[in-house]
Structure 1
Amino acid sequence: MSEARALPGRPRIGAIDGPATERAVCVLAPNPSPMTLDGTNTWIVAEPDARSAVVIDPGPADEGHLRRVTEAVRRAGRRVALTLLTHGHPDHAAGAARFAELTGSAVRALDPALRLGDEGLAAGDVLETDGLELRVVPTPGHTADSLSFHLPADRAVLTGDTVLGRGTTMVSHPEGDLGDYLDSLRRLRSLTVDDGVATVLPGHGPVLQDAQGAVDYYLVHRAKRLAQVETAVENGLRTPAEVVARVYADVDRALWPAAEQSVRAQLDYLRDHGLI
């Protein structure tokens, strides 16, 4: 879920709805909003000649969208072998149960409440399906249950809401945690340095072809916002709403409720570190 404007210097590219890499195809859900950008990106991932596919984030409980995803898999001559969730927000996960009915696939997630089947997901898991390899990367912060999926063969990472294709994401208070989020960004940056990840396949917005640049921007942005919040408190602002009005004055007011959640998380972080 986005809380801010487009990344500086990056063109506002149109929404993706189709192939993104050799192994990943996006089916865009029809749920655009200030929070979801162009809509939720549902990802179909498979080896080029495979008969099975993995679907990541079926999206909202929209029957038309879920059937579009199943039809896209069928047209490619495949079946859905597994469904994965990056996290439990409804725009990513509300359609998972119905999607499982349509496809007969299990649903795996970090949160046991979201699983349909016997297996969950955990940090370090390597998922192998018909030649496809996906590595589970823990990226809590946006929510406590947020995961990313490293697709080594395409030098790509599917980030859910941890890194968006446009703008920056919110830290959902109280389920999210800023300290965890910063650690997650550093973990993703390590993938770009140590594992050669070059492409971000986000949960909303266009594909990012400079993964390291995107993560670096997020880290700088977070540090800047945190310093602004700290200064606002030092200047006598006390409530999250007051801080949002000062620090997020450059952000569309429609996004201020999301920004207030991030501010609450930032205030917790500053208190926990003895900075306010």
Structure 2
Amino acid sequence: MQQSNDLSPLEIVEMFAGLSCFLKDSSDVSQTLLDDFRTCQGYVFLSDLLLRLDQAKENESKDALKDLVNLITSLTTYGVNELRPAGLTTGAPFLLPGFSVPQPAGKGLSVRNIQAFSVLQNAFLKAKTCYLAQIILDAITNIYLSDNANYFILEPQHTLSQVAEKITKLPDVQVKYFEMLEFLVFSLNYIPCKELISVSILLKSNTSFSCSIIATKTLLKFIRHHHIFKDVFKEVGLLEVMVNLLHKYAAVLKDPAQAYIDQGRTLPFLFI
């Protein structure tokens, strides 16, 4: 598949919308058209188109970008074969009482097309604007919310761990990211150890005031939710990071002016 410079962004997206209808209808009975779409580099085309629209100057580009993200989100549910989570997930040494891996809710809600989801994930990681990052994270959130099994189907993609590496530079998506972590704990009854390791690294880097504050508030919610998180935080390195931060807070309390000079980036934590 090739892009055409003769078409406007909206026209290109409208063309894909038509193709998407064929893919959806055919995927009810056969995988053939989806396989052909992959063979013809259709997913590569979608990735390139997202990034192209992200940097486009036309007024209609934002609308086209949002429509395209919605179409790709729908594409994640196309497919004949149901995908199922693989039992208890690897790398999950801690479990909340009563946790069980949910099973797919059914066609139209459950993820059946990993390659389409990868288009969204990769576009987020390569996004040049907060706008694209925000609408993609909204789309990923909606995918998780539409079926409790979707997070576990997609867990091998390490989506939220990779997203964490970028959110310090994207203030508009920070609250949404930690709301997603809270969804995993409070709604799915799951302890996301890999994601918490990423949060530990994020806090240790201490490169974003706002992100560190939001992260700390979420971690406090987890501690209050269940005592097992005390052991979890110790295991994933969060306890050590938080202790080091507390030492910095103590320095601020002793001599605020000097601490602000020496450790200026830590001072905003006092207002959590």
Q: TM-score, normalised by structure 1?
A: 0.34
Larger Rg: 2
Which is strand-richer, 1 or 2? 1
Which is helix-richer, 1 or 2? 2
Q: TM-score, normalised by structure 2?
A: 0.35
